[in-house]
Amino acid sequence: MTHPPTLRGETFKGVASFTEQKEKTLEKFKEHNIVKAMVADGELWYDNERSDLIIIGGKNKPIDALRAQYNEGKLGVIGEMAPFYGKILANDPSQMPYFELAQELEIPVGFHVFPGGPNYGIHVLPEMLGGMRTYNAGPLQLEDVLVKYPHLRLYIMHGGWPYLEDVKALMYAHPNLYVDVAVINWILPQEEFHTYLKVLITAGFGDRIMFGSDQMVWPQVISIGIESVNNADFLTLDQKEDIFYNNAARFLKLSEKEIKKHKSE
């Protein structure tokens, strides 16, 4: 699958098979010293010799199935949750059992809001994205969830772009809310990405921003996303380290032993 031109004017040729996807992705992990990555449906990677790298994300399954998956040691995150593709909001009663399970099991939730798919995706891929609407994709839909489940560790995928003020308000109100910069670090023009990132940093939320790629079938964009963060001249080395590792280590509650091992590598 070839990605339509992004707002940067770039397009990407996708991998031809799942085997190629694993091989190319693991090559990028090695190239960039990536030590942990949340992979939706990551149980498909479980038999891989580097399965220690994969945090398995589970979604779109009955609650009992997710609980059984967790009990088998094959569920580390509930995500990515993306009910807005079906015009369903986060606070819909149908979604609450997933948040309740995550809080009970003390595992994080990755929640997908806008942007969804490529720019103009409703028109480019109507068969896949025809149910997506910008009016129901804003991050404020998560506030009822964050209030009801105050111990839930939740991160907004794709930084909540372009709803910047809403993201700041939610992060100000809820200390257990993080964001990642997946997709927006390769799909947006670099200046726009940097503007968005700098506002969150300046607002005081630099300790809750995590790197991500959401590369889907384009492993090459991992490198572009990393470079987009590294090219941000307003970030200090410490702030980059926070985005690339420290914030996620805290969010995921990695042990001191594991953190020490990762940093020694």
Q: List per-block mean pLDDT (blocks of 10 residues) for the chain, which spans 265 residues.
A: 88 92 92 94 76 87 96 93 91 96 97 85 82 88 97 96 97 98 96 98 98 93 97 98 98 96 90
Tell which residue, 74, 73, 83, has the closest CA to residue 42.
74
Contact 45, 39 (CB under 8 A): yes
pTM comes to 0.95
Angle in degrees, CA 91, 92, 95, rounded to 5: 85
Cα–Cα dist 108/163, whole Å: 22
Question: With b meaning 16 or more CB within 10 Å and e meaning fewer, what string describes 108-121?
Answer: bbbbbbbbbbbeeb
For the record, the structure tokens of 39 come out as 């992979």
The DSSP call for residue 189 is -
pLDDT of residue 48: 65
Contact 117, 158 (CB under 8 A): no
From edge to edge, which strands make up the β-sheet containing 37-40?
37-40, 54-58, 77-81, 109-112, 154-157, 177-180, 209-210
Cα–Cα dist 58/112, whole Å: 13
Q: How far is it between the farthest Cα atoms of the chain?
A: 49
**Checking phi first, is residue 160 left (phi over 0); if not, alpha (psi -120 to 50) or beta?**
left
The DSSP call for residue 142 is G
Cα distances (angstroms) measured from residue 251 to each of 85, 234, 242, 254: 26, 24, 11, 8
